[in-house]
Structure 1
Amino acid sequence: MININDLTITSLQFQANLYSMRMDYDTSGNITYIGFAKPGSTEDKPVWAIKKLEYDDNGNLIAVKWAEGNNNFDKIWNNRTTYSYS
C-alpha cells in the first residue's frame, strides 16, 4: 500500500532541492499551499507554481491540486488564495 503522506513528503524533499519553496498553513497547522520558484524569486512576481493541499475532517490529506489546473511557473504567490485549483 502506498502512503500518500510519505509520497508527498518525498516529492517535497526532491522539489526543495531544485526550487525555493513557500508554504502556508491553516489554523490546525496543516500545510494548505506550497509554492515553487527559482531561487531568489520574489512573492509578488508571476514566477510561481502553486499547489493546494486539501484535508478531510480528520486532518488526512485527500487531494493535491495545482493553481489553474497546471504546474506552470506563471502564478503570483501573494495571490495564491484567488486561483482556482484542480
Structure 2
Amino acid sequence: MPIPTNVFDQINNLASTLGTNDFYEQRLDNDSAGRPLYVGFSAIPNENVDNTTWFIRKLSYDNNGFINRVQIPDAGAGFTYSWTNRATYFS
C-alpha cells in the first residue's frame, strides 16, 4: 500500500492504526518549505506543550516533495513526549 502524500491522510491513517479518531490536540511543525515536519497528538484537551503526554511522528520527504518516511521517536511510540522537545527525540 503506498504511503499517502497528504499529511491529513497520514493523520487519519495514524488514528486508524492507534484505534481511535478521538485526538483532542493535534500540532504540526513545518519545515522551511512549509511542509509538515513533525506531527504531534495529545489525548488531553488543551494540553500544555511542555508536558510529556504527546505522541510525535517525524515526516521525511523525497526529492519530489512526497512523504517517503514516517518516523517514531528513537525511544519508541507512546504518549510520553513533550511537544516542545520534539526535535530531540529523533536521530
TM-score band, normalised by shorter chain: 0.7 to 0.9
Aligned CA RMSD, in angstroms, stands at 2.3
| Whole-angstrom CA distance in 2 between matches of 1:84 and 1:3 | 23
Q: Find the counterpart in structure 1 of residue 51 from structure 2.
A: 45
Q: Find the counterpart in structure 1 of residue 72 from structure 2.
A: 66
1:56 and 1:7, CA in 2 relative to 1: closer, same or farther beyond 3 A?
A: closer
Does residue 18 of structure 1 match 2:22? yes
Give me the TM-score of the superposition, normalised by structure 2. 0.77
1:12 shift after superposition: 1.2
Q: 5+ residue gaps in structure 2? A: none
Q: Which has the higher helix share?
A: 1
**The one of 36, 55, 59 aligned to 1:31:** 36
| Whole-angstrom CA distance in 2 between matches of 1:11 and 1:59 | 15
Give me the TM-score of the superposition, normalised by structure 1. 0.81
Moved over 2 A (4+): 6-11, 13-17
1:70 shift after superposition: 2.0
- Give identity over the alignment, percent: 31
Q: Secondary structure at the match of 1:78?
A: coil
